[in-house]
């Protein structure tokens, strides 16, 4: 006696065995065209919603603002570890007076007093103002200091410095100062 479900499946099983012996089933199993390759699997994995799509975030160049902020940060760290003393309140006030009195008759005397008391300032803007001083020794020291600081300056500061030094090279009465200015201009170009 046959069980109703088994009798129908026996011919199917025999057909499957024949196909297996003829190699049809194995070929179907191994050479499936719908089976994705490993590279296709990797591509699907990259398209997953669980993975960040924007990989260019990591490859982007930092913006100009970020570079400037980084330079300022590194400058401050360098000041901290260089051993230079922090500018005192009195020194800050005297430096501000230099900026305030720029162009007046008191400016030249104030610069001489400031340089005797503190030395040249570390502030780019104040050093640019000192380039208009009458004493050639102070101006030459300022030029060399600015030349050393040029790598830390912004593009606008470099262009301003370059213009100022070109004018100084054309208008300086002292030949040594004129030569130094011309040398700096050539180094900047």
If asked whether residues 90 and 131 sit together in one domain, one would say yes
pLDDT at 170: 84
If asked whether residues 146 and 76 sit together in one domain, one would say yes
Number of domains into which the chain is organized: 2
If asked whether residues 28 and 79 sit together in one domain, one would say no
Of residues 46 and 119, the one with the higher pLDDT is 119
The helix (H) or strand (E) run that includes residue 161 is helix 155-171
| Percent of the chain residues topping a pLDDT of 70 | 75
Kindly state whether residue 58 falls inside one of the protein's structural domains. no
Contact of 134 with 108, CB cutoff 8 Å: yes
Tokens found for residue 3: 């069980």
pLDDT at 86: 67
Kindly state whether residue 43 falls inside one of the protein's structural domains. no
Determine how many CB atoms are found less than 10 A away from the CB of residue 132.
16
Q: Which domain holds residue 32?
A: 8-38
If asked whether residues 177 and 133 sit together in one domain, one would say yes
State mean pLDDT over 4-13: 62
pLDDT at 18 over 80: no
State mean pLDDT over 155-184: 84
pLDDT at 160: 86
If asked whether residues 74 and 147 sit together in one domain, one would say yes
Kindly state whether residue 145 falls inside one of the protein's structural domains. yes
Give me the DSSP letters along 32-92: -SSSPPHHHHHHHHHT-TTS-S-THHHHPPPPHHHHHHHHHHHHHHHHHHH-PPPPPHHHH
Kindly state whether residue 2 falls inside one of the protein's structural domains. no
Give how far Cα 116 sits from Cα of 95, 96, 107, 146, Å.
13, 16, 14, 19
If asked whether residues 112 and 148 sit together in one domain, one would say yes
- In 3D space, the residue among 110, 118, 113, 126 whose CA is nearest the CA of residue 86 turns out to be 118
Kindly state whether residue 178 falls inside one of the protein's structural domains. yes
Phi, psi dihedral angles at 97 (to 5 degrees): -65, -40
pLDDT digits (tens, 9 = 90+) for 46-100: 665 665 555 555 566 778 888 888 888 887 777 667 655 667 788 888 888 888 8
pLDDT at 1: 44
If asked whether residues 130 and 184 sit together in one domain, one would say yes
């Amino acid at each position: 006696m046959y069980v109703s479900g088994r009798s129908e499946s026996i011919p199917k099983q025999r057909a499957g065995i024949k196909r297996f012996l003829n190699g049809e089933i194995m070929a179907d199993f191994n050479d499936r065209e719908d089976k994705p390759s490993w590279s296709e699997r990797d591509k699907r994995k990259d398209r997953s919603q669980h993975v960040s799509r924007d990989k260019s975030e990591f490859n982007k160049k930092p913006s100009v603002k970020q570079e400037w902020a980084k330079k300022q940060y590194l400058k401050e760290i360098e000041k901290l570890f260089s051993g230079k003393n922090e500018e005192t309140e009195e020194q800050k006030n005297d430096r501000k007076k230099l900026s305030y009195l720029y162009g007046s008759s008191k400016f030249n005397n104030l610069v001489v007093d400031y340089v005797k008391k503190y030395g040249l300032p570390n502030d780019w803007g104040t050093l640019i103002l000192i380039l208009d001083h009458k004493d050639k020794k102070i101006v030459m020291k300022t030029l060399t200091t600015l030349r050393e600081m040029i790598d830390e300056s912004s593009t606008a500061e470099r262009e301003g410095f370059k213009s100022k030094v070109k004018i100084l090279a054309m208008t300086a009465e002292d030949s040594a100062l004129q030569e130094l200015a011309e040398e700096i201009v050539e180094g900047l170009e």
